[in-house]
Structure 1
Amino acid sequence: MTSDDENRLGSTRIRDLLVIALVAGVALWIVIRYNYGAFPSLPWPAGVSLYILAVIEFVTGFVVRARVAGRDIGRARGQLHPIAVARVMVLAKASAILGAVAAGGWVGVLVFLLNNGLLDAARADRPAAVVGAVGGVVLAVAAVWLEHCCRAPDDPESDTDASDAAPA
């Protein structure tokens, strides 16, 4: 491996997102376990922003994918600037991490709520935790999809890491 390969930004790996989700889930479970009474009730729309971001990134993925496939990337008027593609790639990486943190955190809260089924407050908070957990997963999947769409068609890594970087 050369120095350039070591410093190169690689694709987001699913296992890294799973580790992030696991750490966030354990951390939130610990926080909620010892401080549940101090929190207000969880409204179910709390995780809706994750779905909105996921839809935006999913649609952006199709736009970028079409431009990349049509080789419509460049500095000419009407083309997608390469810096814009790089910015979209950074957005996708950050959103994948956000989705993993949100999914893991909400699952940690949900595990606590399911274990405290006798409390009316815990039963009332479950829908919000489910909406948030699913929203985090949806955002992470959309972000990985967007990142995959930013790859150049002749990228040698796109064939070798396709199973690790993008959903089937």
Structure 2
Amino acid sequence: MGPTRRRDVTAGAAVVAVVSYLALGLLYRWFPPITVWTGISLLVVAIAEAAWGRYVRSKIEDGEIGAGPGWLHPLAVARTVVVAKASAWMGALVLGFWLGVVGYLLRQRSTLQVAAEDTGGAVVAAACALALLVAALWLENCCKSPQDSGRSGPLNGNQPG
């Protein structure tokens, strides 16, 4: 499994943006109001992933990966990579959706009062989705093993003792 490629998630976001923009012409009338709180949950997840990435990076830099007290288990790092990859794709797809919504709302602002009211919330949701995408890609990057071969610890075959 390789690192998540930025061009792949960008292409996914672009495809979803186009599809959501086209679908909104038919579906917007059934949308609930879009407030600034709509996308905040994505921001909460992004902050949690960034904090976890900082923790993982510090453990890797300190060589504290292994099966010891206060050490981070290698399977936890592997699971973190899986969560980061899934979050990056989710962030990209949700970002694409919200970009499509923003595009549609900007086009409809002058004719629909409700579109003008929903635009701010959609922009906030898109920004929160972008934050999730960036945090997930950073988290995945934090899980890389160190390039320095002079480190001690289980990453180089030494066990805590």
Please give the TM-score of this superposition, normalised by the length of structure 1: 0.84
Aligned CA-pair RMSD = 1.1
CA distance in 2, matches of 1:33, 1:74: 53
Q: How many Å apart are 1:26 and its aligned residue?
A: 1.2
CA distance in 1, matches of 2:69, 2:31: 52
Structure 1 residue corresponding to 2:102, chosen from 110, 113, 131: 110
CA distance in 2, matches of 1:69, 1:44: 38
Structure 1 residue corresponding to 2:139, chosen from 138, 146, 149: 146
Q: Decide which structure has the larger Cα Rg and report it.
A: 2
Structure 2 residue corresponding to 1:91, chosen from 83, 87, 93: 83
Gaps of 5+ in 2: 149-161
- Partner in structure 2 of residue 128 of structure 1: 121
Superposition misfits of 4+ residues, deviation over 2 angstroms: none
Q: How many residues align?
A: 147
CA distance in 2, matches of 1:55, 1:42: 22
Deviation per residue, 1:107-163 (Å, 9 max, x gap): 0000000001121010011011101111111111001110000000139xxxxxxxx
Deviates more, 1:26-35 or 1:122-131: 26-35
CA distance in 1, matches of 2:16, 2:86: 15
Deviation per residue, 1:33-89 (Å, 9 max, x gap): 112112222122110011000100111111000000111000122210000001111
* 2:50 maps to 1:50: no
CA distance in 2, matches of 1:59, 1:152: 18
Q: How many Å apart are 1:24 and its aligned residue?
A: 1.2
- Partner in structure 1 of residue 156 of structure 2: none
Bigger helix share: 1
Gaps of 5+ in 1: 1-8, 156-168
Structure 2 residue corresponding to 1:27, chosen from 19, 22, 25: 19
CA distance in 2, matches of 1:43, 1:131: 9
Please give the TM-score of this superposition, normalised by the length of structure 2: 0.88
- Partner in structure 2 of residue 137 of structure 1: 130
- The letter for the 2-side match of 1:101 is L
- The letter for the 2-side match of 1:146 is L
User: What percentage of residue pairs aligned between the two structures are identical?
Assistant: 41
* 2:56 maps to 1:64: yes
CA distance in 2, matches of 1:82, 1:144: 19
Secondary structure (helix, strand or coil) at the match of 2:69 reads: coil
